[in-house]
Amino acid sequence: MILRMPEYCADFRCTADKCSDSCCIGWEIDIDSETARRYDETGGEFGERLRKNITSGEVRSFILDKQERCPFLNKSNLCEIIINLGEESLCQICSDHPRYFEWFDGIKEGGIGLCCEEAARIILTQSEPMTCAAYEIPDETCDEYDAELYHFLFAAREKILEHIQDASIPMRNRLGSILSFAEELQLCADNACYELAEITAEQSEFVPDLKAILEFMRTLEPIDENWVPYIRDCISNFSGTSKALAEFEEAAPETEVYLQNIAVYFVWRYFLKGVFDGELLSRIRVMAVSTELLRYMFCCKWCGNRSVLLADCVEIAKNYSKEIEYCEENMAALADFLC
């Protein structure tokens, strides 16, 4: 089968102890059965330590300490499993992260997730339209789906990605056109009518009710205790939004590229999942709303001291991804709310 990933994924290298938000802190880390068996068979003092810090039962995981740190993350924020056993001894989730994958018949697609600060930096700073690299890999299985729907959605995604990356059209108009296109796609999928239309470029701007969406987001289960106060601050800064956004966009035009790349990321990662559940429009709505929410969050940062750095935008995008994307319940709740 073929593995397809954005070419920028090859640039990713874990920054380990230099990362300011380690994925080894605050996350449950499940251990796949093959790795758990290897850990059970590891000898010596380190093997004993491994088994002492892993739960028993059908699903096994590392036992986090009181600070929610992985027990094998040392004081220098380096992984002692790698130090003692080598990188090939990591469990699957640690080896893959922040990479994600989706399986189709003969095709495996993947990328790097926005929830990692180094991955977010790479995603936001792409200056050229996204291109993919393809690799031959051993066959892997996938869930069943309608092949005709898959080819329809694959072609539709190509059109969407091309339109998102057309910088000659203002970003909000691109989003408006894609949302209208997605409504047509949803009707086609619902009625098994796979005639692909064109994206109409002359659409009005997409201007969501950001305050209502932010108020809704306050009701979601937070991953980080700082998230709710942050959202509350975003809401409190809402007066004069239109003027502030206009000034921000003129002062920080580079953020338009960041937002375009974020929109591309959401479409690439999520749209083809619709082949399994038929949900197309909701995923495009989540992409469009996320893009405009992040624009507003970047603006809030800029309003503080009339500047916003790449590092600020990376931090904001990463935190948003952690709170929304990387919590299945929150992602589903947002999609339902937008419907």
Q: What pLDDT was estimated at residue 241?
A: 77
Q: What pLDDT was estimated at residue 315?
A: 98
Q: What pLDDT was estimated at residue 275?
A: 97
Angle, vertex CA 58, rays to CA 55 and CA 64, nearest 5:
25
Q: What pLDDT was estimated at residue 18?
A: 95
Whether 338 and 324 have beta carbons less than 8 Å apart is answered as: no
What predicted TM-score, i.e. pTM, was given to this entire model?
0.95
- Cα 101 versus chain centre, distance: 12
Could you list the mean pLDDT of each consecutive 10-residue stretch along the chain, which spans 339 residues?
98 95 93 95 96 93 95 96 96 96 97 98 97 96 96 98 96 96 96 93 87 94 93 86 90 97 98 97 98 97 93 98 95 94
Q: How far is CA 318 from CA 76, 119, 256, 313, in A?
A: 23, 9, 17, 8
Q: What pLDDT was estimated at residue 243?
A: 87
Phi, psi (5° rounding) for residue 237? -90, 15
Residue pointed to by tokens 């994925």:
23
Q: What pLDDT was estimated at residue 204?
A: 85
Q: What pLDDT was estimated at residue 242?
A: 81
